[in-house]
Amino acid sequence: MNTLRFVLLFLFAAWSGFLSANHTLENPYDSLAFVPSNQSGAKAYGILRGDLEKSSPKQALEHIQFIRDLSKKKSDKVLVCTYYETLAHYYSIVNDSLNALSTNYHETAVQFARDNALNDQHVRQLYALANYYFTYARKSVSYGYFREVLLLIDKYGEKSISGVWQYYITMGRYFYDIKEYELSRDALQQVLKYETRLNDREYFNTMNTLGLIATIEGDYEQANSYFKIVYEKSKVAVDSAWMGISYGNMGNVFARQNNHGEALKHFFVDYNYNSKSWGDVQSALGSLKKIAETYYIMGDYDKALLRTNEYLDKMERKPARYMALSEMFNLKVKLLNKLGLESELLETLKQYNHYNSLAISFENEAAIDAMKLAEEKQKFQALYSESRRNKIILLCLLVLVAGGAVVGLLYFLRNRKNILIKEEPVLEPENTERYDVSTIIHSKKPYAVQNSPAVLVSKELRDHLDLNLMNDRNWGDFKDLFDADFPDFFVEIGDKYDGLSESDLRLLALLYLNLSNKELADKLSISPEGVKKAKQRLKKKLSLRLVQTAD
């Protein structure tokens, strides 16, 4: 009996060992064999993140080779793209920085997709390359790639691009970060067309960024409405991280309105939610910083110092955090002076000088990147304008050819009766849609616009119309020239309306010049549909009093 029991235990142990050994031989990417090709990239990325937590970097790299073997077995070119993309992600995660190997594999994936006419993958791989540069703060390089992604989506059609809303979400955040708020809003509005297909966090991210844009533009009521939607939806989804983030952003709105008591309450909610192990650490620390700063503004220096020390203990010492660290050490210096605590003052000053120097160095790099970004915007605008001119020239040639053929045919037919045919010039229909300030503040139907006299401008102002007015320096020069041609325009607008942003003033100035929607889209680097939405938003801001005056 004992012998039988021993044999059974031995067989059970052997079988368990076999199963365990067999399990360890399984490759984590096995499941890709059963995933649709157009979803393999996203699936592989998720597997990679999990594999790097369980396996050594060397083992994780060896596992990726399975994707290449599977692509050969299935003769699947999309999987080849996935293989290159996964290698690119591997090297960027392992190195946590831009590096030659990641860059090379991203570019190889883009080239392979382009050469093999894989339209969906062409967009995905170009987006991955743009996002790679965006992640590591090379916004100037990202700009051209993200704009090309938008052009490709327009060229291939949204329906042919898998998960296109995910690209719009990231681009919405990117354009927000570089202060291209109209482009950001347009991208996020595209996301909302796919609302039923968004997961919870994609929806929260989209609405949150729209709220951030409204906050920047001073539309606090609209901003809070977005943040409240995020809070209520995340509460239903039991997503405490986003509950905290949305509450913290509502706190920012109160702080901008100098309601520091309410702001403080909201910052504490964010900090309490996101300081947990499952929370968003950076959101928690951001709110902790604001708590300390708010206490300082309110004159509660003891509490401000307590929260400042807590922040400095928890904040990671990475380049992207140098400026925040410098600001908080500077705040601590002020607090120590206020409280007469001189014993820590010298060491705190040293820390402040150290991180301030690092921040300045890092900011210099960021400034260089910002200059490159401005150049990229200018370059894209020039290419876009040239492309539009070429299309117009081509259209004119086609019209002339068609017109010539029609005239020739008519001449041939009428020549039998010896009737002299006088060729009429073929004119393109003029776009009669012109707008001025009175148009957008009145009704949907323009009044007295067709009888408006031509707007006369100086040569300098006309020349500046050809520049990219979304560039801050170009806009500043244009604004000065506009003011010279139309004295007191901005002053009168400012007297009649409170809270108009620079974007609003830019649009009002261009509308005053009677530009068409297509011309406005060209100048503002947005779509004609975006122009219409911008007008609608601006119309809401204008007072009823001016509408009545116009009547």
Evaluate if residue 407 carries a pLDDT over 60. Answer: yes
CA distance to 10, 42, 89, 238, per residue, from 86 (Å): 43, 9, 5, 32
Where is pLDDT greater, at 450 or 409?
409
Query: Which one-letter DSSP state was computed for residue 417?
Result: G
Residues 329 and 317: beta-carbon distance below 8 Å: no
Domain ranges of the chain: 28-162, 435-550
CATH architecture of 28-162: Alpha Horseshoe (1.25)
What's the rounded mean pLDDT across residues 286-290?
A: 92
- What distances in angstroms separate CA 509 from CA 62, 257, 428, 475, 501, one per listed residue? 60, 28, 27, 11, 12
pLDDT classification of 499: cutoffs 50, 70, 90: confident
What phi and psi values does residue 422 have, to the nearest 5 degrees?
A: -100, 115
**pLDDT digit string, tens, across residues 224-257:** 999 999 999 999 999 999 999 999 999 999 999 9
- Beta-carbon contacts of 182 under 8 Å, excluding residues fewer than 6 positions away, are 503, 524, 525, 526, 530, 534
Q: Under the phi-then-psi rule, with left for phi > 0, alpha for psi from -120 to 50, and beta for the rest, what region is 199?
A: beta
Cβ neighbour number for residue 270 with a 10 Å cutoff: 29
Closest C-alpha among 473, 477, 462 to residue 519? 462
pLDDT-wise least confident of 244-258, 368-382, 499-513? 368-382
How many of the other CB atoms lie within 10 Å of CB of 435?
21
Range with the poorest average pLDDT among 76-80, 407-411, 434-438, 517-521: 434-438
Share of the chain above pLDDT 70, in %: 76
Tell me the C-alpha to C-alpha distance, in Å, between residue 275 and each of 202, 254, 279, 328, 331: 22, 22, 6, 19, 22
0.85 exceeded by the pTM?
Answer: no
Share of the chain above pLDDT 90, in %: 42
Its sign, for the CA torsion 365, 371, 376, 379, is negative
433 — pLDDT class (breaks 50, 70, 90): very low
Amino acid letter at 337? N
The CA radius of gyration of the chain, in Å to the nearest whole number, is 30
Task: Say whether pLDDT at 441 is over 60.
Answer: no
Report how far residue 154's alpha carbon sits from residue 222's, in angstroms, rounded to the nearest whole number: 30
d(CA 201, CA 330) in angstroms, rounded, equals: 36
> Is residue 273 over pLDDT 80?
yes
Identify the CA nearest to 98 among candidates 57, 40, 139: 139
DSSP annotation of 34 reads G
Confidence band of 384 (pLDDT split at 50, 70, 90): very low
Sign of the C-alpha dihedral computed for residues 523, 526, 527 and 533 taken in this order: negative
Q: Which of 62-66, 187-191, 348-352 has the lowest mean pLDDT?
A: 348-352
Q: For the ranges 21-30, 310-319, 411-420, which has the lowest average pLDDT?
A: 411-420
Q: What is the pLDDT of residue 168?
A: 94
- Strand ranges (DSSP E) for 145-236? none
For residues 146 and 158, what is the distance between their CA atoms, to the nearest angstrom? Answer: 15
pLDDT in tens, 198-212: 999 999 999 999 999
Closest CA to 210 of 173, 165, 252, 250: 173
| Per-residue pLDDT, 220 | 93
pLDDT for 440 equals 41
